[in-house]
Structure 1
Amino acid sequence: MAKRKRTLVSFLSFCLCLSLTTSGCGLQALLGNKNKTSSASTSKTSTIAVSLNDNDPNKLLITKGIDDLAKKEEVKVKYLGASGSGDDSALKGAKVLIYQAGNANLLKNAQTNKVPVLALSQVPAGINLAGVVTPDQEKTGELMAQALVSKVSEGQVVILQGDPSETGSQELLAGNKSVLSKYPKISLQTFASPSGSESTVKQSLTDYLQKNSGKVQAVLAHTAKLEEAASDALKQLQLAKKVLLIGGQATIPSLERMASGSQVSDVDTNPYLQGANAFQWAQKIINKEPLDISDSITSEQGEIPAKIIQVKTVTPENLAVIQKSYVKTMQSAEQDQKQQTAKAKPQSKSQGDSKTQGDSKNKGGDQQGAGGSENQGQNSGNVPSGVKKVTETVKTETTREYLDGQGKVIGTEKTTNEQVKTVPPEMLQQEQKAQSSQSSSQGQGDQSPQEKVGSGGSGDSGG
């Protein structure tokens, strides 16, 4: 009997081994799978470091594109300010750096620590990049020029170029010239603008417009900052309605200028999509997934893989739609930013601050109310002795808007009216006596002490 049991146990053991072997799953594999599951459950959230251009008016729109996609993934986005540290600690834990502008030391440390760098909008010099996400700069230049030649076929045209050392700026200028070269009667004057020199370019433009009065037909401004500088110069010289302003980077202010008629065209570079595509690419780098990138940009580092974002001209026909999109996205981004700030603030500190602030307000209100009745009489003032004449100057400003049939503002007009009135001193004295007697009667009424404080405080704030 014992022999039969041993035989049965041996047979069952053989069957178990055979089952494991035929299923392709050995004991070591089972242990390995268990270890993998445990490792996956304890894996940390990946971090993407982002350094953007603080001077870019569309910065929040780019941020919105990044954050909207980050919410759907287990990825932490760490934003690095331009004034922050660019040492190794800034990139600690980061798997990818998305870089538009900021502390240049970030790029060096990324190279040292082998953190892939994904450029946004422009190609930084001397850095080996994993790729670049950029609007179609050459197409932007072409669209600007096409908007120009639809209105002007001859005369002088000023081009305000961005930093001439940047690849994107060079491509944009090339796009301008590829179209304008077909119009021999248009002469070009280009002013380059290295980073931070917008004020210098503005002065150069002002001087050129004054020296060539009546000859300049249009100004092509490549960046939002240059658009703003050109707009200011044209307004100062009262040329906003005479010289065409065409931009290469649509922003909410530039779209407002188009709506008011002081700018004729701009180019929508899709900042939201720039941010969204940069995040998607960074995530693929982290996950080591294949990239569906077919374009590239030629730079001093050679050919760089590039995601080219499509651009489109902003015209009077599509202005309302694009403007609404920019405004709504910006408002949503600002709301998200407020929520993140509130969430990051310790709740205990918030409650403590609220309590302190409330106590201060109550205390201040009591003090203000207690002296309200007295202050009311003091604030009214007295007419100095010997006064023979009192004048009052009343200044009013009226803004008139002209709208078309669709309710769009097509023009504005401001008028200012200033009127000087003479007031007899006796009238002021009578008003002061009336106010004094009214204050006295309020103080003698059947009010409780708290009601008297409230009444006095109200009178003081109203005065």
Structure 2
Amino acid sequence: MSKRVRSLLVILSLCLSLTITGCGLQALLGNKNKTSSTKGGTETVIAVSLDEEDPNKLLITKGIDDLAKKEDVQVKYLDKSAAAKESPLKGAKVLIYQGGDEKLLKSAETEKIPVLALSQLPVGAKLVGIITPDQEKAGELMAQTLVSKVAEGQVIILQGDPSETGFQERLAGNKAVLSKYPKIIVQNIVSSPDSESVAKQGLVDFLQKNPDKVQGILAHTEKLAVLANEVLKQAQLDKKIILVGGQASVSSLERMSKGAQVGDVDTSPYLQGVNAYQWAQKVIKKESLDVNNSITSEQGEIPAKIIQVKAVTSDNLAVIQKSYTKTLESAEQEKKQTEEKDKGKKGDQASQDQGDSKKEESQAGDKQGSSNGGEKQAEGKSGDIPPGVQKVTERIKTETTREYFDEQGKVIGTEKTENEQVKTVPPEMLKQQSEQSKQSSSDQGSESGKEKK
């Protein structure tokens, strides 16, 4: 094979190699560009409206926030003031609703934002699902704790609002256990939707009419447990009548540690928040929900995620109390940091606004100064001699004050004299003085311009 042919083959091989390599690099660069372009995107917004009176509100928010921090998600909490704004749900992809302003539900329906219920089924709302603790199981656990201490006598069940979700389920759980004890007589006291005062008065009246007969009280909510504890203390019955709650919180666990309450139910508020967030993300991404039950409502069967509950007794009180307290302290600290951060942002914005205001004032001052300068120039021009002047007079008025002092320097007399002179000035002289003044001002302006340069 000749050298010429060999050279041609080598050149062809190199060209082919460069072509293949170039395609590979181009493909890699193309993939890199595609990868980097997918990183950009708008931040997902989840709106949350919670019940302001829920004793475990901060624990629920803690569960939501802990997961939101790990992802590029903004959680927008809507209290009453935020809900009253013109577009509170602006940018939100889903609304987690436990309570609060019911107008949010109408806004969500109008703006076609999916609504996910938390522990309560809001009336008239179209829901994609609900996260709720196992209400019937909670009722059973309450009654089981009671019958472990009491086997006969009268037992009062303090029930919550009949319109609330889980009302019937908890009562059914209570009765499923208590019905096995024929010597226990059950008395139901229902609270009104807007106030617990009716339930409080009903409890006071029943205790007065049945002295030494009531052995225990089952309070469905923490608010009712607080009410019952107050009544028992006032009647000096807190050591005689057993109190069992149905919604564990830091305050109820504190009562248990002091012996004012013998049992409660851990409804896992932190896990409620976690699961609510997870379902909200599934709704946004249009993924299937991990449904483990359903709840019947006016709009039919609602997909539900039932959160397991557990009894709080003297055996596990220390562990659960530590968990609740630690989680709450962490949530409070994070809330404080967030508030301080927001306050700092508002302060920076206020400083910026103040700076802009001062800048505007400065600009206005400059304009005013320019205006005043113009006025002064106008005044200077008004001193020029009008055309056609034949005679100019100057009226000079002087006032002399003479004071007379004694040996000690005190004024013992004053004399004032006034003198007025009228002087005629030739117009030519004034005209000459005016021209000299203008020439002097022009020269000063030229020198000032040279200095600036």
TM-score by length of 1: 0.67
Structure 1 segment 49-448 matched on structure 2, within 5 A: 49-86=47-84, 89-346=87-344, 349=347
Identity %: 66
Deviations 1:204-259 (A, max 9, x none): 11111111111111110000100000000100100001111000000111111111
Amino acid at match of 1:199: S
Residues 109 and 87 of structure 1, relative CA distance in 2, 3 Å threshold = farther
Gaps of 5+ in 2: 1-11, 352-453
Amino acid at match of 2:281: Q
Query: Partner residue of 2:430?
Result: none
Are 1:121 and 1:134, in contact at CA under 8 Å, matched by a contact in 2?
yes
Supply the distance in 1 between the matched residues of 2:294 and 2:346 (Cα, whole angstroms).
Answer: 51
| Root-mean-square deviation (Å) | 3.2
Amino acid at match of 2:255: R
Query: Partner residue of 2:398?
Result: none
1:85 to partner: Cα distance: 2.9
Are 2:192 and 2:198, in contact at CA under 8 Å, matched by a contact in 1?
no
Supply the distance in 2 between the matched residues of 1:88 and 1:112 (Cα, whole angstroms).
Answer: 13
Residues 255 and 285 of structure 1, relative CA distance in 2, 3 Å threshold = same
Query: Partner residue of 1:411?
Result: none
Are 1:97 and 1:116, in contact at CA under 8 Å, matched by a contact in 2?
yes
Residues 306 and 155 of structure 1, relative CA distance in 2, 3 Å threshold = same
Amino acid at match of 1:340: T
Supply the distance in 2 between the matched residues of 1:329 and 1:339 (Cα, whole angstroms).
Answer: 15
Supply the distance in 1 between the matched residues of 2:160 and 2:190 (Cα, whole angstroms).
Answer: 6
1:82 to partner: Cα distance: 2.8
Are 1:61 and 1:330, in contact at CA under 8 Å, matched by a contact in 2?
yes
Amino acid at match of 1:45: E
Amino acid at match of 1:287: K
Give aligned pairs, total. 341
Residues 290 and 347 of structure 1, relative CA distance in 2, 3 Å threshold = closer
1:348 to partner: Cα distance: 8.4
1:128 to partner: Cα distance: 1.4
What SS does the corresponding residue of 1:101 show, helix, strand or coil? coil
Amino acid at match of 1:106: L
Deviating 4+ runs (over 6 angstroms): 33-36, 350-353
Supply the distance in 2 between the matched residues of 1:352 and 1:279 (Cα, whole angstroms).
Answer: 34
1:349 to partner: Cα distance: 3.2
Are 1:121 and 1:133, in contact at CA under 8 Å, matched by a contact in 2?
yes
1:187 to partner: Cα distance: 1.4
Structure 1 segment 15-34 matched on structure 2, within 5 A: none
Residues 299 and 40 of structure 1, relative CA distance in 2, 3 Å threshold = same
Residues 348 and 285 of structure 1, relative CA distance in 2, 3 Å threshold = closer
Deviations 1:266-294 (A, max 9, x none): 00111100001100110111122222223
Are 2:60 and 2:270, in contact at CA under 8 Å, matched by a contact in 1?
yes
Deviations 1:290-324 (A, max 9, x none): 22223111222211111111111101011011111
Supply the distance in 1 between the matched residues of 2:263 and 2:176 (Cα, whole angstroms).
Answer: 19
Amino acid at match of 2:192: P
Are 1:161 and 1:193, in contact at CA under 8 Å, matched by a contact in 2?
yes
1:202 to partner: Cα distance: 1.1
Query: Partner residue of 1:418?
Result: none
Amino acid at match of 2:71: E
Amino acid at match of 2:175: K
1:42 to partner: Cα distance: 3.7
What SS does the corresponding residue of 1:91 show, helix, strand or coil? coil
Quick check: which has more Rg, 1 or 2? 2
Supply the distance in 1 between the matched residues of 2:146 and 2:282 (Cα, whole angstroms).
Answer: 40
Deviations 1:311-362 (A, max 9, x none): 1110101101111111110100000001111111236838999xxxxxxxxx
1:84 to partner: Cα distance: 3.4
Are 1:88 and 1:109, in contact at CA under 8 Å, matched by a contact in 2?
no
Deviations 1:164-219 (A, max 9, x none): 12231111111111111122221111112233311221121111111111111111
What SS does the corresponding residue of 2:117 show, helix, strand or coil? strand
Amino acid at match of 1:267: V
Are 1:87 and 1:106, in contact at CA under 8 Å, matched by a contact in 2?
no
Amino acid at match of 1:240: D
Amino acid at match of 2:151: S
Supply the distance in 1 between the matched residues of 2:145 and 2:161 (Cα, whole angstroms).
Answer: 23
Are 1:136 and 1:309, in contact at CA under 8 Å, matched by a contact in 2?
yes
Are 1:123 and 1:168, in contact at CA under 8 Å, matched by a contact in 2?
no
